Structure 1
Amino acid sequence: MANGRPEPVFVATLDRIEDEEAPLLTAFAAVRDVREGRTRAGRPYVDLELADQTRSVAGKIWDDASAAIQTAAGLRRGAVVKLLFRSEHYQGALQLNVRGIRTLTEREPGYDAGRVFGAGYPKVADSLCANLVFDIETVPATELATAPETIRKAVHRHAERQGGDEDMVMGLSPMLGKVVSLAYGEADAETDDGVRVLVVPPPEHDEAQRAAYPPWMQPVSEPELLEAFWALAAHAGVVITYNGRTFDVPFLVGRSLVHGIPARVDLLGNPYALRPHLDLYRVLTQGRPLGPMTLDMVCWSLGITSPKDEMDGSQVAPAYARGDIEMIATYNRKDVVATAAVFRRVREQVLRFRDDW
């Protein structure tokens, strides 16, 4: 006890807060959202959304903690903070009454990044992005012939309606397909130098072949790829995709469900919000049928090099079947470079004029 006040108790993870009875607690967390407001009486406050690998929790800073309010106002989404707080409940849910908050110092005692960002953090710790652009490539996860008859018939019917390609149908379903390549990079990088690709090697690739991959390709299992993605998303201030609300994110959520991996960041919430997930396709179409609006078409219209000149999605499964994972990763990487270029144009000419950006 210092100066008659009880020493705060450190809580290693947010899911253990309610197990503690101490009046003051401390913990590390990543900031998911910061919203400033005022009460009807004009008192300022800050609402926080905080998270680690175990849970998300709401935080509140009242004006009697003015230093904490000032600190919170300058935080970005994805920042890691140390909290001093009281554990309270509001409308039946846990809420942290935050008394103090600060960003971490170098080599912060007691801080474990894995506890905040999850098991995938070590694989991407040196390539975290504030403005994360990503894209995935998928293939069938199993042989259709091994599936139950009801599944085979469902795939066959769907393939007939879509043009007869059963492999394509399977590769587009998170229940029947798998992610074999996830390319990601910082949106402000204008070349592919900073774009990394997590790849799931074809089964026939041995250790020698994997060791020969280019340095920007990192071989992982699909569960490791998924864990790494959620760590990247948890750290990012904004996650940027092209049509990611329709395909990439639901696919990753579905595959995470299959593998029992928590989908720890909500990237499918309010479809009109620009953060945490900025889907450029939705920004350009606003959900209206405006004719073809593929990434290839947008790149052509804006004078941006298209990744579709050398390959398209229909060629991914055959390339994987013959073991050409580097071809897939190169194509995936170019998708990210193109998406980042579209983002920079949209940010400069559209987003900076919007109040919600």
Structure 2
Amino acid sequence: MTDEFRRKAKNFLLLDIETVAGYASYDQLPERMQKLWDKKATVLRKGDESVSNEEYFYDRSAIYAEFGKIVCIAFGAFYWDENNEIAFKVRSFSGDDEVKLLLEFKALIEKYPAEQLILCAHNGREFDFPFLCRRMLILGIEIPKALQITGKKPWEILHQDTMDLWKFGDYKSYTSLDLLAAVFDIPGSKNEMSGDQVTRVYYEENDLAKICRYCREDVVVLAQLYLKMHSFQPVRADNITRVE
């Protein structure tokens, strides 16, 4: 590890969010929102009539901040143990009360100097960071300075994104965290479930703990991938701490 990385690690948080449809079914959407979803879904489906707007809402609305909600935020940080070996600790905030969840996360990141905090996620620039900001605005929560990017110059935005790092300036395609984990021979996080099952597990299985385990494991994978992409050795399995 370089001295620069050790210094950066003090104000470095890796994170992942899990989102679900904002309502258990299309029928529960307010009428005004139903009409707006119908309009959006018609465009997204591109003429495909095999799936109804109602089914499409359950399957796809979780990825849109206007129609979905956050149920879990997992985050982790690097540190060095008593033997001076790199270690990693991951925990999560979760709950049905999204306002409470977001306020907990806001309080966490505001403990760090806003001008020094580096937030890292996979596809974070396109999904995690804007989703967090949009949900905070919708729910009347002031966006913490570390997440605010309006008016900032590119070099003033400290966010890191492992998908951006992998693109090397190529904007043609999306590369999943799971695929990169396989490429770099990192144990995956899809043992219990996958991302497209989160809404079903939340509403049908009522198993938020399962979602949180999955979310925390994604952050572990993210941490190991970040190290690999910077030519560092991964954290040993017994130096990873998971907090329920």
TM-score range, shorter chain: 0.7 to 0.9
Partner AA of 1:182 in structure 2: I
Match among 238, 247, 256 for residue 118 of structure 2? 238
CA, structure 1 residues 318+252, in 2 after alignment: closer, same or farther (shift >3 Å)? Answer: same
Q: Separation in 2 of the partners of 1:328 and 1:264?
A: 25
Instruction: Supply the RMSD in Å over aligned alpha carbons.
Output: 2.9
Are the counterparts in 2 of residues 185 and 336 from structure 1 also a CA contact under 8 Å? yes
Offset at residue 290 of structure 1 (A): 5.7
Q: By how many angstroms is 1:291 displaced?
A: 4.6
Q: What is the match of residue 260 of structure 1? A: 140
SS at match of 2:218: helix
What is the one-letter code of the residue matched to 2:103? E
8 Å CA contact 1:137, 1:332 repeated in 2: yes
Partners of 1:320 and 1:229 lie apart in 2 by 20
Partner of 1:196: 91
Task: Structure 1 unaligned segments of length 5 or more: list them.
Answer: 1-75, 78-128, 202-220, 350-357
Once residues 156 and 198 of structure 2 are traced to their aligned partners in structure 1, the CA distance between those partners, rounded to angstroms, is 30
Residue 188 (structure 1) shift? 4.8
Quote the Cα distance in structure 1 between the aligned partners of 2:124 and 2:153.
11
The structure where strand makes up a greater share of residues is 1
Q: What's the offset of the Cα at 1:271?
A: 8.7
* Aligned residue type for 1:249: F
The question of whether the paired residues in 2 share the 8 Å contact of 1:267 and 1:276 is answered with no
Q: What is the CA distance between 1:168 and its match in structure 2?
A: 3.1
Q: Which of 151, 175, 187 is the aligned partner of 2:36?
A: 151
Deviation string 1:202-239 (CA, Å, 9 cap, x unpaired) is xxxxxxxxxxxxxxxxxxx2112212222333344311
Q: How far 1:348 moved relative to its partner? A: 3.6
CA distance in structure 1 between the aligned counterparts of 2:144 and 2:170, rounded to whole angstroms: 30
Paired residues for 1:124-163 under 5 Å: 130-142=11-23, 143-145=25-27, 146-147=29-30, 148=32, 149-158=34-43, 160-161=45-46
* Residue 273 of structure 1, CA deviation: 4.0
For 2:75, the aligned partner's letter is Y
1:27 is matched with which residue? none
CA gap 1:286/1:184 in 2 versus in 1, 3 angstroms: same
Cross-structure match for 2:71: 180
Aligned residues: 204
**The one of 314, 317, 320 aligned to 2:196:** 314
Structure 2 CA distance for aligned equivalents of residues 229 and 309 of structure 1: 26
Q: Is the CA contact 1:155–1:170 (under 8 Å) kept in the aligned structure 2?
A: no
Distance 2:210 2:121 in 1: 21
Partner SS state of residue 92, structure 2: strand
Q: Distance in 2 between matches of 1:183 and 1:157?
A: 33
Deviations 1:255-285 (A, max 9, x none): 1011100112254636954852111111111
Point out which structure has higher relative CO (alpha carbons under 8 A, 6+ apart).
Answer: 2
* Residue of structure 1 in register with 2:162 after alignment: 280
Distance 1:310 1:158, change over 3 A: farther
Contact residue 139 and residue 170 of structure 1 kept, 8 A: yes
2: distance between equivalents of 1:231 and 1:138? Answer: 20
Identity of aligned residues (%): 27
Q: Which residue in the other structure is 1:337 paired with? A: 220
Q: Deviations over 1:307-329 (max 9, x none)?
A: 13432111000000120111111
Tell me by how many angstroms 1:287 deviates.
4.0
The residue that corresponds to 2:62 in the other structure is 171
Give the structure-1-normalised TM-score: 0.51
- In 2, the alpha carbon distance for the partners of 1:343 and 1:268 equals 23
Amino acid at match of 2:203: A
Specify which structure has the higher proportion of helix: 2
Q: Is the 8 Å Cα contact of residues 20 and 199 (structure 2) preserved in structure 1?
A: yes
2:238 maps to none
1:250 maps to which residue?
Answer: 130
- CA distance in 1 between counterparts of 2:144 and 2:229 reads 28
Distance 1:332 1:316, change over 3 A: same
The answer (yes or no) to whether the contact 2:76–2:90 under 8 Å persists in 1 is yes
- Structure 2: any 5+ residue segments left out of the alignment? 1-6, 81-85, 233-244
The normalised TM-score by structure 2 is: 0.72
Q: Which protein is bigger by CA-based radius of gyration?
A: 1
Structure-to-structure mapping, 1:1-357, within 5 angstroms: 130-142=11-23, 143-145=25-27, 146-147=29-30, 148=32, 149-158=34-43, 160-161=45-46, 164=51, 165-188=56-79, 194-201=89-96, 221-236=97-112, 237-267=117-147, 269=149, 273=155, 276-289=158-171, 291-322=173-204, 323-348=206-231
Contact 1:135–1:332 (Cα < 8 Å) also in 2: yes
